[in-house]
Chain A
Amino acid sequence: MNELSLASQPEIIEPIVSARGLRKKFGRKEILHGLDFDIPPGRIYGLIGHNGAGKTTTLNAMLGLTNCEGTIRVLGEDPFAKRAKLMENVAFISDVASLPRFLRVRELFALLSNIHPNFSIDKARSFLEGTDIKPEMKVKHLSKGMIAQLHLAVVMAIDAKLLVLDEPTLGLDITYRKRFYRRLLEDYMTEERTLLITTHQVDEIEFMLSDIMFIRDGELILHMQMETVNDKFTQLVVNDAEAQAAARAYNPVYEETRFGQTVMIFDGVDRNLLEPFGRLSTPTLSDLFVALMQRPTANPESAR
């Protein structure tokens, strides 16, 4: 093989996470029904779904916390078999309350600097500058928001390739939530790092996502880049009944009435065709979530 042929070959980017036929059962109940997905490096993924949809189980499979059928590889390794080794390059927050409460902040940092080879105590201290968290404070004496800040400082001080956040801002007020995500974007994200977030506060993370995955009842029903979402889905707000009837001919995936106006969401319909019927826009992630995630049996009124 000559030099020219080597140069002309497209560069193959190894995914950070790769799952094939991922299944998980608890007792007789199957929670994950054979998920297939790849997560490339340098992306910010949102994994979104109802309670009990299988988000945390999927994350647990990635983090080696649970054993699944099928194949899952994170950074090329089987996470359940090699969790300890994998954690050198993977950081996660799965519950903000999970920091050891008996430790002081300085003790926590000192322990981590000995336990984790990629943890930088200086970085962790710098992330806490400007906060009310002091080294002598015990974790159990910190407020919920301060614990979240501390946990974020801990994971951001780990030089990891993949950061997984499972409901990291649960129970925090809006100020802390905004600060949490801003800090993450400004101080942590680089092209080499991949971030995977699950949250119910979809609108708050929409601005930072590069890709989304919607999971419903253990199946991935949407997995695409945000740019593609913008191109693929269209929201139409329509007032008069005649236009509504005409728009319905294009099979909206969702329809609801808000303040006397009808809102429809279309999947893959040319915007030029819809333009005559009303006001067009790109649906927000939460609107799209509601549109695609609703279960007819649970919400028959809005299912069409």
Chain B
Amino acid sequence: MKAFTALIHRELIEHRGAFLIGPLLLVVVMFGATILAFTVGRVDAKFSGALLTVAPLRVYELGFLGFGVAWSLYLMATLFFYAADGFAADKRNNAMLFWKSMPVGDFKVLLSKLVAAITLLPGTVYGVALLSGVLLYGVAFVAMLINGTATVGALGAIVMVYGHVALTILITIAVGLVWYLPYLALIGGLATAMGRWAIPVSLVLPAIAATLEWVTLGGLHPFTTHTWNYLSYRATFPLMEDGYIDSWFVGTEPFNALLYASDLLGRVDWAQVGIGIVFALAVMYLGSEYRRRSNDN
């Protein structure tokens, strides 16, 4: 376990640029831009003429949730490229033989990359997302001080909002990671064999699979096949349909992470999650067998 944890840690060291330094720089730039906007008067912190219609806590809530969406999209894109790059990195960096001189098997190495992709690496981005929320909190509170809406009660309320939104982002990322795990594993497995070519191949693979079904089993066109329908279903995040988010948008109640979580978890097709995990492990095994024999390939 110690070795496995160390292997996960090395993934963070190797990809800290994308998962730690890059996000931190983004936060610094965003925070700097916000400070600048306040300094040069671009932001009307007093909400002149609109104070009665603006609910500062709602603005903060929406702002932090918006950050959460933005960080989730960033994470999704980064993990996609991580899977294509990280699983081939040892070969590309000419370090394959060094890692093979270590007493860890190829399956363990690949599994550590996959586990890093769903734990430590997104965890780091989540940490930065929380930091961006704290900075937004600071900005919101300063704005409230300026426009005179800041009270001790508001301070407590804003902490509650922070907690709920932070929990919401965590649950969303966690569900997203287990839901999209088979895609991550597939890209990683392909990258083990073909390096960065896994990026275009993984993008055309669903179309190829659907076309094969259409050619062999018939149908109107490839995008009406069972394969395509299934892949579309598995590519859609469970939250897309009507649910708690929609009712919260039209209401006035503060965002409740627990209600959101129960709504989201209730929508997840857990059987598919289980199938996805088995598929991911199978892909890792096949990738490790390729890697084990890579000297012969």
Seen from chain A, the residues whose Cβ lies within 8 Å of a Cβ on chain B are 26, 60, 63, 65-67, 83-88, 91-95, 97-103, 107, 111-112, 114-117, 155
Cα distance A85–B104 in the bound complex, in angstroms: 7
Within 8 Å by CB of B98, from A60, A88, A100, lies: A100
The reply to whether B104 and A98 form a contact with Cβ atoms under 8 Å apart is no
Min CB distance, B96 to chain A, in Å?
Answer: 7
- B residues less than 8 Å from A88 (CB atoms): 103
The reply to whether A67 and B296 form a contact with Cβ atoms under 8 Å apart is yes
- A residues less than 8 Å from B93 (CB atoms): 100-102
The reply to whether B94 and A84 form a contact with Cβ atoms under 8 Å apart is no
The tally of residues in B whose CB lies under 8 Å from a CB in A reads 27
Cα distance A112–B7 in the bound complex, in angstroms: 10
The closest CB in chain A to the CB of B99 belongs to A100
User: In residues 102-149 of chain B, which contact A (Cβ within 8 Å)?
Assistant: 102-105, 108
B9 at the binding interface (Cβ < 8 Å): yes
The closest CB in chain B to the CB of A114 belongs to B6
Min CB distance, B177 to chain A, in Å?
Answer: 24
The reply to whether A83 and B10 form a contact with Cβ atoms under 8 Å apart is no
Cα distance A19–B83 in the bound complex, in angstroms: 39
B13 at the binding interface (Cβ < 8 Å): yes
Min CB distance, A164 to chain B, in Å?
Answer: 9
Q: Given A101-B93, A114-B6, does the pair A67, B293 have CB atoms closer than 8 Å? A: yes
Listed by A's residue number, 8 A-B pairs whose Cβ atoms lie within 8 Å are A65-B97, A66-B295, A98-B97, A100-B10, A111-B6, A115-B3, A115-B7, A155-B101
Cα distance A97–B96 in the bound complex, in angstroms: 11
Inter-chain residue pair count (beta carbon < 8 A): 79
The closest CB in chain B to the CB of A99 belongs to B98
Min CB distance, B240 to chain A, in Å?
Answer: 38
User: In residues 269-297 of chain B, which contact A (Cβ within 8 Å)?
Assistant: 292-293, 295-296
The reply to whether A114 and B5 form a contact with Cβ atoms under 8 Å apart is yes
Seen from chain B, the residues whose Cβ lies within 8 Å of a Cβ on chain A are 2-3, 5-7, 9-10, 13-14, 93-105, 108, 292-293, 295-296
- B residues less than 8 Å from A95 (CB atoms): 94, 97
Cα distance A95–B292 in the bound complex, in angstroms: 18
Within 8 Å by CB of B97, from A94, A111, A117, A155, lies: A94
- B residues less than 8 Å from A60 (CB atoms): 295
Cα distance A99–B102 in the bound complex, in angstroms: 12
Min CB distance, B56 to chain A, in Å?
Answer: 44
The reply to whether B10 and A111 form a contact with Cβ atoms under 8 Å apart is yes
- B residues less than 8 Å from A26 (CB atoms): 296
Kindly name the residue among B14, B98, B105 whose own CB sees the greatest number of chain A CB atoms within 10 A. B98
- A residues less than 8 Å from B95 (CB atoms): 98-101
- A residues less than 8 Å from B14 (CB atoms): 100, 102
Kindly name the residue among B10, B103, B104, B108 whose own CB sees the greatest number of chain A CB atoms within 10 A. B103
Within 8 Å by CB of A97, from B13, B94, B102, lies: B94
The reply to whether B105 and A84 form a contact with Cβ atoms under 8 Å apart is yes
The reply to whether B5 and A116 form a contact with Cβ atoms under 8 Å apart is no
Closest 10 CB pairs of A and B: A114-B6, A87-B103, A84-B105, A98-B98, A100-B95, A88-B103, A115-B3, A66-B295, A98-B97, A94-B97
Known: A63-B101, A67-B293, A83-B105; 11 extra A-B contacts, CB below 8 A, are A65-B295, A66-B293, A66-B295, A83-B100, A84-B104, A87-B104, A111-B9, A111-B13, A114-B6, A116-B102, A116-B103
Kindly name the residue among A91, A107, A111 whose own CB sees the greatest number of chain B CB atoms within 10 A. A111
Min CB distance, A22 to chain B, in Å?
Answer: 15
Cα distance A4–B97 in the bound complex, in angstroms: 50
Min CB distance, A96 to chain B, in Å?
Answer: 10
Cα distance A138–B105 in the bound complex, in angstroms: 26
- B residues less than 8 Å from A98 (CB atoms): 94-98
The reply to whether A65 and B102 form a contact with Cβ atoms under 8 Å apart is no
Within 8 Å by CB of B101, from A85, A91, A102, A107, lies: A91
Min CB distance, A265 to chain B, in Å?
Answer: 36
The reply to whether B3 and A114 form a contact with Cβ atoms under 8 Å apart is yes
Kindly name the residue among A83, A103, A107 whose own CB sees the greatest number of chain B CB atoms within 10 A. A83
Cα distance A26–B103 in the bound complex, in angstroms: 27
Q: Given A65-B295, A97-B94, A103-B13, does the pair A87, B101 have CB atoms closer than 8 Å? A: yes
Cα distance A83–B14 in the bound complex, in angstroms: 25
